[in-house]
A and B are shown apart, each in its own frame.
Chain A
């Protein structure tokens, strides 16, 4: 049986520069995968290419999602099929409140699935439950998207959006950088609340402690120089904490 997300031998360029050099990765439903690696290894490229960011060109290789070839599918259609990216530095959009933005996004997802848009009351309820669980105030929902938000608040709002849109594959790009301890707890709490047998996570990170203790991943991959060089259990994180990435870089 093929995996939920199957990346085979992926070569990706950003401009003229080759970033991913034959990356392969498989994720099954319900699994939590973590990708760690030194700066410049290609971690952000991986998350962006999965979402279809046109700045990154796929030179060769395959990405299959839920049995479908993902490569010809547009950004928004990948999102509607259940792929969600929590951005490392989310952009600001003034004049539109977070709740209005979520209304449009959620109804767009629903339409794709052949569902009617949510009425005002159901939508408000849908939002409120999730906001409460993640410590998002009413004021933050009314504020224009990401405007005047600290790094930590932005990350929290990304997790909130994930909870609202209920994706099938959650890609968290550097989820833990720039957040204070409490915010990290809330973010990992969000992941733990949302994980289930159907939902998969691909978490890209620097911070070993957070991952090891709060999230408890099923698989850990080490991404060095555009390729996955080692895959292991969460104990691999302890190994990296002790010896760093150089041991893997030597192997290349």
Chain B
């Protein structure tokens, strides 16, 4: 708690977003705009095989025929896609060894707290740091490769493990899925590739840090995780971005495939720049994340704490195809000032005896709008399947909105779908009670909000849980008058 107060004070005193700085590095940028030539150029620069260029072109041609979605409860101006630069890589790009990495870059990572140095081994975290579209230093892959685990950039995977990538890329989120997924399929720059072989339990938590640096560069990251039979991996995703005045687009895709008896745990702490107090600037975060529990007894769990972005449009989902498979979604989404979030999850039950659990905690403050949108579908033959959802919204102040839109569809009589939701506010009585015990308003709110989110926070890996708790306090700064 003392830590979170320090973080709070830091932000208040500096009057700046903690990570609001820009690294002065030469970039290798394309001109703005998107057309077929740009797509070809991206593929060429990365030395991609024909099948992948083909994939991109098909997606791009399809993208030209579809329209930007405006159906969510998010209000935003149409994005000018010609005003964005689709490729920017620091000149001193990825090298073989740590010694050859640009020291400026390494300093950036240190500021961000990315444990790129060898001492990170003791912390047991391997990091694939993505910097402006090209993965820079991939650490520990040699150590992981001893167990047959592949943890590298997508670009590298395309070169060295082409068959694997070709087999699974686009199998969970096809380019036809939605507008932003389609754009991503055409222009995705880089991302993480993970493959855990049969029977292997990944010994360390894998993580990736994202960063958008160059002006007007949208990030189109693509992550592909494959957990083969009886394997296990826990993946952490944490993002930071510098302060900007113009909105920046982030349209990423995460695809996860879980085979028989395997388990994947995907955790995210997202604090992209949310825009200033007047609602200017901030990241537009349109992400498609989906996992296919293809195997018997496969399990996928999504845990996220979302506090950043000006706009968030994100529905991590599970397709429960394998019998006995399990999908989980634990989320805390906080919006303040003028942020807008339309987030939630989809659980599609196809196999028998499948189970899904959804726990969503939304907190709205300031003039923000926070919507939970859920979709649970139980197909006809998904016998004995079960879903349980709990969505709670907490409103702070009377200028914000909290909305819940769960859609449940059950076609199987032996299945059971249960949903509960509550909307409430931090009562004046609770605030007075905490203050009478010596806590000031902000401490009280922080305490009550952390209590509200406890069920979700407990699902996060330890190091993320601490960062998440701090983030909650920083995001709600100034929300209680």
**When the two chains form their complex, are residues A117 and B432 in contact, meaning their CB atoms are under 8 A apart?**
no
**When the two chains form their complex, are residues A104 and B1 in contact, meaning their CB atoms are under 8 A apart?**
yes
Bound Cα distance A87, B245 (Å): 49
Chain B residue at minimal CB-CB distance from A51 = B436
CB < 8 Å: which of B436, B450, B453 contacts A75? B436
Residue B454 at the chain A interface, CB threshold 8 Å: yes
Number of interface residues of B (CB under 8 A): 25
The prevalent SS among residues of B at the interface is helix
Bound Cα distance A112, B429 (Å): 23
**When the two chains form their complex, are residues A95 and B436 in contact, meaning their CB atoms are under 8 A apart?**
no
Bound Cα distance A18, B435 (Å): 25
Measured CB to CB, the closest approach of chain A to B447, in angstroms, equals: 6
Measured CB to CB, the closest approach of chain A to B334, in angstroms, equals: 15
Take A91-B427, A104-B1, A117-B2 as given contacts and tell me if A96 and B451 are in contact as well, using a CB distance cutoff of 8 Å. yes
Bound Cα distance A9, B45 (Å): 83
From A104, A107, A161, residue with most partner B Cβ within 10 Å: A104
| B2 contacts across to A, CB distance below 8 A | 107, 117
Q: Could you mark each residue 1-34 of chain B with 1 if its beta carbon is under 8 Å from any beta carbon of chain A, else 0?
A: 1100000000000000000000000000000000
Take A95-B451, A95-B454 as given contacts and tell me if A165 and B438 are in contact as well, using a CB distance cutoff of 8 Å. yes
Chain B residue at minimal CB-CB distance from A55 = B428
Residue B418 at the chain A interface, CB threshold 8 Å: no
CB < 8 Å: which of A79, A94, A96 contacts B435? A79
Bound Cα distance A95, B454 (Å): 6
Residue A144 at the chain B interface, CB threshold 8 Å: yes
Interface set, chain A 54-106, CB cutoff 8 A to B? 55, 74-76, 79-80, 84-85, 87, 90-91, 93-96, 101, 104-105
**When the two chains form their complex, are residues B450 and A96 in contact, meaning their CB atoms are under 8 A apart?**
yes
**When the two chains form their complex, are residues B438 and A108 in contact, meaning their CB atoms are under 8 A apart?**
yes
| B108 contacts across to A, CB distance below 8 A | none
From B428, B429, B436, B439, residue with most partner A Cβ within 10 Å: B436
Take A101-B447, A104-B1, A108-B443 as given contacts and tell me if A93 and B435 are in contact as well, using a CB distance cutoff of 8 Å. no
Chain B residue at minimal CB-CB distance from A112 = B438
Bound Cα distance A242, B289 (Å): 75
| A105 contacts across to B, CB distance below 8 A | 434, 437-439
| B455 contacts across to A, CB distance below 8 A | 95
Bound Cα distance A93, B437 (Å): 13
Measured CB to CB, the closest approach of chain B to A242, in angstroms, equals: 36
Bound Cα distance A79, B441 (Å): 13
Measured CB to CB, the closest approach of chain B to A143, in angstroms, equals: 12
**When the two chains form their complex, are residues A91 and B451 in contact, meaning their CB atoms are under 8 A apart?**
no
| A2 contacts across to B, CB distance below 8 A | none
| A74 contacts across to B, CB distance below 8 A | 435, 440
Measured CB to CB, the closest approach of chain A to B438, in angstroms, equals: 4
Chain B residue at minimal CB-CB distance from A108 = B438
| B433 contacts across to A, CB distance below 8 A | 87, 90-91, 93
Bound Cα distance A91, B448 (Å): 12
Bound Cα distance A53, B435 (Å): 10
| B437 contacts across to A, CB distance below 8 A | 79, 101, 105, 108, 161, 165
Measured CB to CB, the closest approach of chain A to B469, in angstroms, equals: 12
Given A75-B436, A91-B427, A91-B430, 18 other A-B residues pairs in contact with their CB atoms under 8 A? A51-B432, A55-B428, A76-B435, A76-B440, A79-B435, A85-B436, A87-B433, A90-B433, A91-B429, A93-B433, A93-B448, A94-B451, A94-B452, A95-B450, A95-B451, A101-B447, A104-B1, A117-B2
Sample (6) of A-B pairs whose CB atoms are under 8 Å apart: A76-B438, A76-B441, A79-B436, A93-B448, A96-B447, A96-B450
Binding site for B on A (CB under 8 A): 51-53, 55, 74-76, 79-80, 84-85, 87, 90-91, 93-96, 101, 104-105, 107-109, 112, 117, 144, 161, 165
What 10 A-B pairs are tightest by C-beta distance, nearest first? Answer: A95-B451, A75-B435, A96-B451, A105-B437, A95-B454, A108-B438, A79-B438, A76-B435, A91-B429, A80-B438
